[in-house]
Structure 1
Amino acid sequence: MILLVVLLCLIALIELACVKVHRKSVIDTRVSTLKSTDYSVQRRSKIMAMAQGGAAAFVLVLAEVLKISPIALVVTFLFYAGIRAGTALEDRATAKDSRALRLSKLFVARETSDARFAFFFSAPRPQDIYHVTMWLEALKSVGHKFLVVVREQQHLSEVPVSQEFECVTFAGLPVSQRLLPASCRAVFYANNSMFNIDVIRGNTTMEHVQLLHGDSDKPPSFSPVSKAYNKLFVAGQMAVERYANNNVAIAPERFKIVGRPQIEPQDVTPNNRKTVVYMTTWAGNFEDSNFSSFSQSIKILKTVSEHGGVDEIIFKPHPVSQKDPSWESIRTQFFDLARTAKIPIKWAEPEESPFELYAKADVLISDISSTIIDYLHGGKPYIVTNPQGFSDEVLKSYPSVDGGYMCLQNADNVADLVKLALDEDPLAEERERVRQFAFGDLDRPRGEAFREACWEIISKPVKSIEQE
């Protein structure tokens, strides 16, 4: 009797485990944010699968009543366990194999069949989802339904839910099946992932537009890979000339100046409370794109906090800096400094976007990156770090720094620069020149140039293969 009870309990546990396996299979093989496209099995199949446990339990009880040997009970249980495990594995395999079919049904569903464009994204790190989120409001303002397509399954749950778009994933599908609905006129991208090429090659009747996730003087903003796209949406003439200045030849008609539609007008009215925002960038994967001052951050924060004239400092390191080996050490030093500093020093809240911090800042300290260009939109003074110790001659290659106050390599002068920027601001006129150079839509309502550029593309009829 004890053996029977143990085996019946094991059957119950196996059934619960199979239910969990099925639920995990549904989650792991989701193809979109539409519940109707989730993997499901017919009611009859569910009943038959669960009946296996009931049948096994019945046979075991019957065997016990008939006084069949314990060995027979164990053999019967093992036979059931093997069949049930096979059923669960088959269920998971079927869920994976059905992804392409469920995705094809999605593209004719009412919610997605009239999507006029798509936004494709691929990146290995969860933190990189900001490449998507920074563009969503601008894309929603275009006024047409669209799709957000992610290559990796992990990003499907990270994209905010919205009525203006559905999020779908190409995870687990071969390149030949990464096709978009025929209603789409264009595909937008925000990075230079190597998987973008698969989508370009698989959807040849559509316009492919590179947005990038920021406009900066760093190599990604003049990558030769940009030649693969039909159009390059850029913030201003600075971005256009950046390609030519770095020997990347792209025809002028492929550029479209659209400004930075994410940036809201900033308050530049002088106030009694002086706030310094310090934002470091990511070191990157290659030395030629490493402009990060993250390793100097504690020194910079301490120096600024000790020299007066500032009421608070807000620190926001790039989210990918968590991969830096010194991350935990710098966090510990930061909170030690924050406890003893004469003025409030805050670590920016995770939900605070860079654009919200730009609005709070009276002076920004940052590295050569898209951060200083985005901040430049507001016209307020900024300080540029120089941890690599670039000479004046080298700095000519980075036109965005012309409107900023340049730190020494060791950042010893950062406090003096903050005081200079807040009090006299002698670079105000030069900064305005750089601002006009960096943004081509300053005389227009926010986002209008971007929307018009999008409408020009998505209103065109879909090209036929013969037209290619």
Structure 2
Amino acid sequence: MSAPHDDSEPVLLPFLAYGFGYFLLLIGALLASPAPFALGLVLCYGTEVLLMVRAERAAKVLSQLRFGITSRALLRQLLVLGLLADGALAGGTGFWWVLICFALLFGLQFCYGYLARRLRSMRRLPVVTRNIDLGPLRVTDAPPRVLVHDVMARLLLLDLPLLAGAVLYTATGAAAAVAVGGALSLAATLVPSALLLRHLLRDRTIASPAEAMEHVQRWLDSYRPEVVLYFSGSADSAYQVNMWLEAVRALPRRSVVVLRERAVAAQLAATPLPVLCVPVSTDIMALDFGPARVALYPANTGKNIHMLRNPQMRHVFIGHGDSDKIASVNPFSKVYDEVWTAGRAGRDRYALAAVGVRDETIVEVGRPQLSPVRPDTAPRSRPTVLYAPTWEGWTDEPGNTSLIEAGPAIVRALLAAEPGVRVIYKPHPFTGIRSAAARAAHRRITELLAAAGSGTGARPASPRLAGLEARLNAFDTLDESVDEAQRSRDAGRPGASDADEIAGLTAEWHRLFWESKADGEHLVVQGPRPSLYSCFNEADLLISDISSVVADFVSSGKPYAIANCEGITDEEFRAEHPTSGAAFLLAPDAGGLDEALDAARAPGTDRFADARLRLREYLLGPDLPPSQERFAAAVDDLYERTARLRPLDDPAGLHERAA
């Protein structure tokens, strides 16, 4: 889970620095005065470095305003020519040397840009893979990132020695200053150009896109997948496929993960399953998946059509969580052969929505992901309340999230509760991507929790926990010096999968993390750790919104509350949202919170305890057999039925249709 969106990165400071820097350059050029010009150069080049390392958002805004790196460099060069043309040395040897060096630098930069683009193209395979041997594709080690990434931002700064020489020439009249500065700028550009050319010549051996796709097809022919987990979406939505990796891994059938976006492939969790990312639609449609007869889809996206058109498979929408939101009954779902829901509630949602999904195509398989969720809670001296609001959504419908209207009030009431409670705040990763009000509410909550601090003294940090954090961060963070081709090559070598190691390290990290937290220590939880389900196991009470978080938490059997921010009565709210049937409902001002807290402190006072048990079965299905077994049985049943209709010697079912 990534941090909620934050647009607080300052852009005004770089703008002011540039404005003053170019003002000094202009004054220096107009007055033929090298002193303000030199100061302007220092300010401009210093700001360029700032943009590269600390102010990416400001750099993006400047580019959108048509003042990108190229325009800025050209303006500096024009102003230095103005400085030279306006003084006593106008038309002298130094002026022409500067002009000639500018032309040579432009030619070298043009060639470098072409070579870098060509090298990136040669190394950009049509697929990104994991756990698939790419040895025959002859992928070489990646060139240093500095040679190929954001090239112009670096190359265009190499004219600094030349500009400095020009300023010195204006001040002293020594043409040698221009010659030395020009030589340094040209040499600084020639050296990386030579290195880049060397890598380009070496990488000519990498397989062509056509050869790469032929190799992928040969691999599919040898692996003979039976089940395809197919996903398309943004990088931020990778959690939607990540939640299914372990369930698919546990299937007794050969499975492959098929992705469509390179960004999702980069964010995919560790798994020993073979992973095949094919961005281009014609490439994915040209692949033959052989005996694969079941395709599973965690999300409804437009690119699903490229797999849905495969008549050899049965296509199943498995979703990424059940909730009462309208997204859970998307009319697009009727394009699938079957729709699998967790429990009866999902079936009833489709019936009530009447969006064209037939009841006979719905299969209840439970939620295999919920096996880590426990009904008990870690023993603490005070109850723990988890506030996990959903995000604001793409529309302005009331009640999308409690964060804006009720979030700060709920947290203030929790902090003021007597006896005291510990608060864990875990916002949705999409929080604030659309709404400034959501971002403001998020900041207010984090400020409240920071000011409240912890109710008891913090426990000493564990060196082991810090070591685990560093190791897991290394797994989480892509090494940007390694490109996709090399990562795919290395991830296909024997023993390259680190999924089991990561699982072990993550379990130990969670244990040590919670042990390190004092009973009264309030927490803001963002990022991949601790996980949502780990927070469930710490919580005595959940406060959330209408989302899959509620349905998942119901599996624990513990009390939960939902904020009613829709402007309707509680009776109407429960009627519209079945997952609220066993919830304590809160008003936007946190009214009703006391009863929910009493249920967390003294379970015997919980008037919804029995209703939650009934709701759990309604939402998630029976406890036995376990949902993983039901999921596997559904896959087996569909595979066998499809194999009979689409036998391997008649994959398109032509004999069946002819009969």
TM superposition score normalised by structure 2: 0.57
- Which of 349, 357, 365 is the matching residue for 1:258? 365
Q: Residues 175 and 109 (structure 1 numbering): CA distance in 2 closer, same or farther, change over 3 Å? A: closer
Residue equivalent to 1:182: 290
2:279 corresponds to 1:171: yes
In the alignment, the residues of structure 2 paired with residue 134 and residue 186 of structure 1 have an alpha-carbon distance, to the nearest angstrom, of 18
- Which of 328, 334, 339 is the matching residue for 2:450? 339
Amino acid at match of 2:128: V
Residue equivalent to 1:445: 626
- Which of 612, 616, 632 is the matching residue for 1:435? 616
**Post-superposition offset of 1:446:** 4.5
C-alpha distance after superposition, 1:245-274 (max 9, x if no partner): 122343333111111110024132684441
SS in structure 1 of the partner of residue 223 of structure 2? coil
**Post-superposition offset of 1:277:** 0.6
Preserved contact between residue 409 and residue 589 of structure 2 (Cα < 8 Å)? no
Residue equivalent to 2:35: none
Residue equivalent to 1:148: 257
2:566 corresponds to 1:388: yes
Residue equivalent to 1:304: 414
Residue equivalent to 1:58: none
Preserved contact between residue 318 and residue 339 of structure 2 (Cα < 8 Å)? yes
Residue equivalent to 2:392: 283
Matches within 5 A, 1:127-142: 127-142=236-251
**Post-superposition offset of 1:327:** 5.3
Residue equivalent to 2:170: none
In the alignment, the residues of structure 2 paired with residue 454 and residue 360 of structure 1 have an alpha-carbon distance, to the nearest angstrom, of 33
Amino acid at match of 1:307: A
Residue equivalent to 1:51: none
Preserved contact between residue 179 and residue 199 of structure 1 (Cα < 8 Å)? no
SS in structure 2 of the partner of residue 433 of structure 1? helix
**Post-superposition offset of 1:158:** 1.6
Q: Residues 18 and 306 (structure 1 numbering): CA distance in 2 closer, same or farther, change over 3 Å? A: same
Among the aligned pairs, what percent are the same residue? 25
Matches within 5 A, 1:43-442: 98-99=208-209, 101-109=211-219, 113-123=223-233, 125-163=234-272, 165-174=273-282, 177=285, 179-201=287-309, 203-264=310-371, 265-268=373-376, 271=379, 272-287=381-396, 291-295=400-404, 296-323=406-433, 324-326=435-437, 328-341=439-452, 343-350=520-527, 351-391=529-569, 392-423=571-602, 424-442=605-623
In the alignment, the residues of structure 2 paired with residue 313 and residue 178 of structure 1 have an alpha-carbon distance, to the nearest angstrom, of 52
Q: Residues 112 and 171 (structure 1 numbering): CA distance in 2 closer, same or farther, change over 3 Å? A: farther
Preserved contact between residue 385 and residue 409 of structure 1 (Cα < 8 Å)? yes
Preserved contact between residue 399 and residue 565 of structure 2 (Cα < 8 Å)? no
**Post-superposition offset of 1:183:** 2.2
Q: Judge which range, 233-242 or 458-467, deviates more.
A: 458-467
Preserved contact between residue 232 and residue 256 of structure 1 (Cα < 8 Å)? yes
Q: Residues 426 and 19 (structure 1 numbering): CA distance in 2 closer, same or farther, change over 3 Å? A: same
Number of aligned residues: 421
Q: Judge which range, 29-38 or 165-174, deviates more.
A: 29-38
Residue equivalent to 2:134: 36
Preserved contact between residue 386 and residue 539 of structure 2 (Cα < 8 Å)? yes
Preserved contact between residue 128 and residue 278 of structure 2 (Cα < 8 Å)? yes
SS in structure 2 of the partner of residue 294 of structure 1? coil
In the alignment, the residues of structure 2 paired with residue 294 and residue 231 of structure 1 have an alpha-carbon distance, to the nearest angstrom, of 35
Preserved contact between residue 384 and residue 538 of structure 2 (Cα < 8 Å)? yes
| Long gaps (5+) in structure 2 | 1-96, 141-185, 456-519
Q: Residues 357 and 112 (structure 1 numbering): CA distance in 2 closer, same or farther, change over 3 Å? A: farther
**Post-superposition offset of 1:354:** 1.8
Amino acid at match of 1:278: Y
Residue equivalent to 1:22: 119
**Post-superposition offset of 1:166:** 1.7
Amino acid at match of 1:223: N
C-alpha distance after superposition, 1:320-379 (max 9, x if no partner): 114132455344423321232254321114222222221111100000111111100111
Amino acid at match of 1:370: S
TM superposition score normalised by structure 1: 0.79
Question: Which has more helix, going by share of residues?
Answer: 2
Preserved contact between residue 375 and residue 557 of structure 2 (Cα < 8 Å)? no
Preserved contact between residue 292 and residue 312 of structure 2 (Cα < 8 Å)? no
In the alignment, the residues of structure 1 paired with residue 283 and residue 125 of structure 2 have an alpha-carbon distance, to the nearest angstrom, of 19
Preserved contact between residue 285 and residue 307 of structure 2 (Cα < 8 Å)? no
**Post-superposition offset of 1:280:** 0.9
